[in-house]
Amino acid sequence: MAYVQLATAACGPVEIEENDIVTFPHGVPGFEEIHRFVLIKPEPELPFSYLQAVDELDLAFVVTDPFGFFADYEFELSEADQSDLSAEREDQLVVLTILTVRDDLAEATANLFAPVVINWETKKGKQVVLHDSGYSTKHPLLPAVAQEGRG
């Protein structure tokens, strides 16, 4: 198995398996030229990971499982997206949402409009766009956390 050392800006030096690199053929909007990412989970007890660019060590997104925070979240993957991901079965897929965390943590938001979908078997990824879904790029994370965490 081949290992790669990355000196990432977000979480320092990490060692990844080459097999774990996910290819985004179209990049992601705003970073269309960046095609290879890897998921890094620096703190296993936290429900957050980094989607770290392999070839641009300054670039990482904070991502989370949207269904953990937004219990009612659902969408249908378009045929074009399924084809891009070479997806045949739902259990091949992992859905993540990109978080924006500003200086004021209370304002952290989740982009439910454009979730990241990864096919773990083909190692292909895509940030899909949920046209006409009613979701936005900025759903407050904190109310969701407050509701989940209470009691």
Q: Where do contacts with other proteins occur on this chain (CB under 8 A)?
A: 9-11, 25-26, 28-31, 42-43, 46-48, 50, 59-62, 80, 83-84, 98-102, 105, 108, 111, 113-114, 127, 129, 131, 137-138, 142, 145, 149
| Number of Cβ atoms within 10 Å of the Cβ of 79 | 9
Query: Smallest gap, in angstroms, from Cβ of residue 71 to other proteins?
Result: 16
Between the two ends of the chain, the Cα-to-Cα distance in Å is: 45
Amino acid in the structure at residue 14: V
Q: How many helices (H) and strands (E) does the chain have?
A: 3, 11
Query: Smallest gap, in angstroms, from Cβ of residue 83 to other proteins?
Result: 6
Specify burial of residue 92 (Cβ count, 10 A radius: 0-12, 13-18, 19+).
middle
CB nearer to other proteins: pick between 77 and 98: 98
Amino acid in the structure at residue 118: I
Measured CA distances, 141 to 24, 74, 101, 103 (Å): 26, 16, 10, 14
Q: Measured between alpha carbons, how far is 51 from 58 in angstroms, rounded to an integer?
A: 11
CB nearer to other proteins: pick between 43 and 76: 43
CB nearer to other proteins: pick between 2 and 87: 87
Query: Smallest gap, in angstroms, from Cβ of residue 1 to other proteins?
Result: 27
CB nearer to other proteins: pick between 28 and 87: 28
Query: Smallest gap, in angstroms, from Cβ of residue 149 to other proteins?
Result: 7
Query: Smallest gap, in angstroms, from Cβ of residue 33 to other proteins?
Result: 13
CB nearer to other proteins: pick between 71 and 80: 80
